[in-house]
Chain A
Amino acid sequence: MTKILYANDLTACFSLWRKEGMRVLGPVSKAKTSGFGEVQDAHELDLNLVLTARTLKELFFPRTEPMFSYSIGKQKIETGEFLPSENACIIFGARPCDAAGMAIDDELFNWDYRDEYWFRRRDRSVIITIACKESDDFCMCTSLGLAPDSAKGSDVLLRPLASGNGWRVEELTPKGGKALQPIASLLKEGSEAAAPTAEVPLLFDLEACTTWLADPENFESHFWKEISERCIGCGTCTYLCPTCHCFDIQDEGDTYEGIRRKNWDSCSFQLFTMHTSGHNPRATQSARWRQRIMHKFNYFSDKFSVNSCTGCGRCTRECPVDMGVRETLQAISTLQK
C-alpha cells in the first residue's frame, strides 16, 4: 500500500496549500513558450509536456535580479536591498532532470560564498517532481547517470499511475513531508500500479568522455573546431540549461543613483572573456564551446565531484544549428576506440 494523489483532487490540493500561505507553481504553456508559472487551478498546468522549454532555474536564479540600489547625496549615501521573500512555495510537476539540476547548482552557489538570492528561494521551495512516462529524441538523463525517476533534488516524487488518474506519492525529504501534511486528507491509501517510466537510451559512455577531457593533450585537439564549427554563439544552450549558472554584475544608472543587478551571462558569448585591452583569451567560438564542455564535465566535477549536466537535452533540442552536449559527447566516446 502506498499513498496516492488523484488528479481530480489536484485543484483542491492547490487550495489547501494556498490556505497555508504557499504559492503553487507548475509547468505552463503560455505565450508560445513553456516554463514554470504560478497557477490557481490544476487545469492551468501542462503536465503532458515532456519538458518545459524554460527551466526550473529561473525560479531561483531570475534572468535579471536587482541586488541593491544606491543613491549618493551631498550628505549621505543611501542603499536599499532587494532580497527575495521567504514565503513558502510549492513547485508542482518538475521533471527529474530539472530538479537534479537545482541540486547541482546548490554546490556552486554555496561554494566560496553563500548566495542569499539563490538560497532564500531554494529554502522556501518544495520541489514535487513527476517521474517521466515519456521522453523525446533529445532526452539523455540515463547517459548522465540519472533516470526518468531520479530522486535527486526533489522533495517529493510522484509516479504516474498506469491508469493515468493520478500519482503514487513518495516522500523524499523532511521538507517534502511537511508540504504533504496540509493535503494529507487528499492522499488515499491504494495499491494501483505505476506506469512504466520512459525508456531513455544510453547515448554515450560518460566515463570515456570525462577521461578524454581530463587528458591535457586533448585541450588543443582539432576535435574542438570540427565539432563546433557551426556554433553561432547565441547562448541559447546556456540560458536554457538548468545547470548553467554564469552571471554578470551590472550597474544600471549613473554615478549618483542606480541599481546593481545580477544578470545572466554565457560562456558562449564573445564578450564573456573580452578584456578591456581588447584581447580575448577565448578568441574563437570553438574555444568557447570547449569551455562549456570542459566546465561541465571536467572543472565542475573536479571541484564538486558531480558533472554540471543532467541530460535534459535542451541544449540540443533548442540549438538553432543543431549542436549540443549530446553530439559532442557522442563524438568523444567514439574517438576513444
Chain B
Amino acid sequence: MSIQEQYRSRAKELLREGTVKMVIGYGAGTTPLRRRPIFITSPDDADRLVLDAACRTNLAGYLLREGLLADQKSVAVFLTPDGVRTINILAAESQLATEQVIVLGFQIDGENARQLEGTRVADFSGIIAERKKKRKEQPSHEVARKLEQMTSVERFSFWEGEFSRCIKCYACRAACPMCWCRRCVVDNNQPQWVNTSSHTLGNLEWNLVRAFHLAGRCVECGNCSEACPVNIPLHLLNRRMTEEVLTAFDYYPGADEHQEPVLASFRKDDPETFIL
C-alpha cells in the first residue's frame, strides 16, 4: 500500500471512530503540480487526501485558527518533523495542548514521501534529536556565507535592495505558524515603534522585528519564504537566527513540548563576548 493509501485509511478510521473531529491534510490543487490544505471531517471525504513530494506547506498553524481546538476535541494533522517541532513550540507557548493533536507524520526524501512512525508529538523526539545534530553540522547558506564576507556597508546595501521590494502584505506573518500574536507589535500604534508604511525604512524595520521575534522559535519550515510574493530571502534571516541560538545557547527550537522558549529563559553562564 502506498503511503497515501495508508494515510487515507488511517484518516478514515480516525474519523469513523470519532477519535478526531477533523483531519488537516493536503489535497489536489488548481494545477497538477499544486497542493492545497484541506480539512476533512467525514470519513467519506478522506479519499481526497493527497500525500506526495509536492506537499510542502507546514499545516500546524491551522490548529490555532478561530477556536478550532476550543471544544477539547482532537484533530489529526499531516506533519513533517518540522511540523511536529511547531506543535511542540506552540504547546510550550501555551497555545495548544498536545493531547488534542494526532500526528500523521511524513518526510519528503527527494521525490518521495516517506511515512514516519508515531502518533503523538512525543513519539518523534528521537527524530528531532537527530535533526538537531544534523543542523549543527549543516553549513550556513551559501548566500549567508557570502554576506558574512562582505563589509557591513555592502551587507546593508544587499538587504536594502531586498527589503525595498517588500510590499508590507505581511504574508510572511500570516503564513508562519509561530506568528500567533493576536495583535502583532507592528500593528500597535500606542506607541508605534516601527513605521507601518512600505517604504524601505519601514520594510527594514518590519523584517528585523519579524526575524527577531522568530529567533529560537522558527523551525525553518519555509512557509514565509514561500508566501512572500516578492521573494525576499526570508530564510536567510531565519537561518541566521537559528544558527545563533544553536551556537550560543545550544538551543534547537521545538525539541519537546516542555522546552522553555530560548528568549524567555537564561543560563547564568550564557556567553557574552560582545558586552563591554
The answer to whether A232 and B175 touch across the interface, beta carbons within 8 angstroms, is yes
Which B residues from 119 to 175 make CB contacts under 8 A with A?
161-162, 165, 167-171, 174-175
The answer to whether A320 and B165 touch across the interface, beta carbons within 8 angstroms, is no
Judge whether B247 is part of the interface by a CB distance below 8 angstroms. Answer: no
Shortest Cβ distance from residue B232 to the other chain A in the assembled complex, whole angstroms: 8
Judge whether A123 is part of the interface by a CB distance below 8 angstroms. Answer: no
The answer to whether B37 and A321 touch across the interface, beta carbons within 8 angstroms, is yes
- Distance, CA A53 to CA B229, complexed state (A): 8
Residue from the list A31, A54, A230, A235 in contact with B38, Cβ < 8 A? A230
Shortest Cβ distance from residue B116 to the other chain A in the assembled complex, whole angstroms: 23
Q: Give the interface segment out of B11-19, B192-200, B236-244.
A: B192-200
Shortest Cβ distance from residue A200 to the other chain B in the assembled complex, whole angstroms: 15
The answer to whether B171 and A235 touch across the interface, beta carbons within 8 angstroms, is yes
Judge whether A239 is part of the interface by a CB distance below 8 angstroms. Answer: yes
- Say whether, besides A33-B165, A261-B197, A321-B57, A234 and B30 are in contact (CB < 8 Å): no
Judge whether B261 is part of the interface by a CB distance below 8 angstroms. Answer: no
The answer to whether B165 and A230 touch across the interface, beta carbons within 8 angstroms, is no
Residues of B close to A316: CB separation below 8 A: 30
Residues of A close to B66: CB separation below 8 A: 284-285
- Distance, CA A269 to CA B196, complexed state (A): 14
Nearest A residue to B33 via CB reads A137
Shortest Cβ distance from residue A204 to the other chain B in the assembled complex, whole angstroms: 13
Judge whether A266 is part of the interface by a CB distance below 8 angstroms. Answer: yes
Residue from the list A32, A236, A323 in contact with B171, Cβ < 8 A? A236
Most A Cβ at <10 Å: residue of B162, B165, B167, B229: B229
The answer to whether B197 and A64 touch across the interface, beta carbons within 8 angstroms, is yes
The answer to whether A264 and B168 touch across the interface, beta carbons within 8 angstroms, is yes
- Say whether, besides A32-B231, A63-B198, A240-B229, A235 and B35 are in contact (CB < 8 Å): no
Judge whether A324 is part of the interface by a CB distance below 8 angstroms. Answer: yes
Residues of A close to B175: CB separation below 8 A: 232, 234, 320
- Distance, CA A64 to CA B195, complexed state (A): 11
The answer to whether B229 and A239 touch across the interface, beta carbons within 8 angstroms, is yes
Residues of A close to B170: CB separation below 8 A: 234-235, 269
- Distance, CA A331 to CA B197, complexed state (A): 36
The answer to whether B39 and A230 touch across the interface, beta carbons within 8 angstroms, is yes
- Say whether, besides A285-B66, A321-B37, A322-B34, A63 and B231 are in contact (CB < 8 Å): no
Residues of A close to B61: CB separation below 8 A: 232
Shortest Cβ distance from residue A182 to the other chain B in the assembled complex, whole angstroms: 33
- Say whether, besides A233-B174, A322-B36, A32 and B230 are in contact (CB < 8 Å): yes
The answer to whether B195 and A252 touch across the interface, beta carbons within 8 angstroms, is yes
Nearest A residue to B32 via CB reads A137
Shortest Cβ distance from residue B66 to the other chain A in the assembled complex, whole angstroms: 6
Residues of B close to A250: CB separation below 8 A: 196-197
Q: Chain A contact residues (Cβ within 8 angstroms of B): what range?
A: 35 or more
Residues of A close to B207: CB separation below 8 A: none
Judge whether B62 is part of the interface by a CB distance below 8 angstroms. Answer: yes
Residues of A close to B5: CB separation below 8 A: none
- Distance, CA A264 to CA B62, complexed state (A): 26
The answer to whether A63 and B227 touch across the interface, beta carbons within 8 angstroms, is no
The answer to whether A137 and B198 touch across the interface, beta carbons within 8 angstroms, is no
Shortest Cβ distance from residue B38 to the other chain A in the assembled complex, whole angstroms: 7
Residues of A close to B168: CB separation below 8 A: 63-64, 263-264
Nearest A residue to B223 via CB reads A320
- Distance, CA A292 to CA B120, complexed state (A): 38
In the complex, per-residue mask of A3-43: 1 if CB is within 8 Å of any chain B CB, else 0 = 00000000000000000000000000001110000000000
Judge whether A257 is part of the interface by a CB distance below 8 angstroms. Answer: no
Nearest A residue to B161 via CB reads A31
Judge whether B187 is part of the interface by a CB distance below 8 angstroms. Answer: yes
Judge whether A106 is part of the interface by a CB distance below 8 angstroms. Answer: no
Judge whether A318 is part of the interface by a CB distance below 8 angstroms. Answer: yes
The answer to whether B195 and A235 touch across the interface, beta carbons within 8 angstroms, is no
The answer to whether A252 and B197 touch across the interface, beta carbons within 8 angstroms, is yes
Residues of B close to A300: CB separation below 8 A: none
- Say whether, besides A252-B195, A321-B57, A239 and B30 are in contact (CB < 8 Å): no
Shortest Cβ distance from residue B98 to the other chain A in the assembled complex, whole angstroms: 23
Shortest Cβ distance from residue A129 to the other chain B in the assembled complex, whole angstroms: 23
What are 18 inter-chain pairs, A to B, with CB distance below 8 A?
Answer: A31-B161, A32-B230, A32-B231, A64-B168, A64-B197, A64-B202, A230-B37, A239-B229, A250-B196, A263-B198, A264-B167, A269-B170, A320-B57, A320-B175, A320-B227, A322-B29, A323-B36, A324-B30
Q: Which residues of B contact A (CB under 8 A)?
A: 29-31, 34-39, 57, 61-62, 65-66, 161-162, 165, 167-171, 174-175, 187, 195-199, 202, 223, 226-227, 229-231
A-B interface, 4 closest residue pairs, ranked by CB to CB distance from nearest? A234-B171, A322-B36, A234-B174, A320-B227
Other A-B pairs, 20, CB within 8 Å; known A235-B174, A321-B57: A31-B162, A31-B165, A32-B231, A33-B229, A53-B230, A64-B198, A230-B62, A232-B171, A232-B175, A235-B171, A261-B197, A264-B167, A271-B187, A285-B66, A320-B57, A320-B226, A321-B36, A322-B30, A322-B34, A322-B36
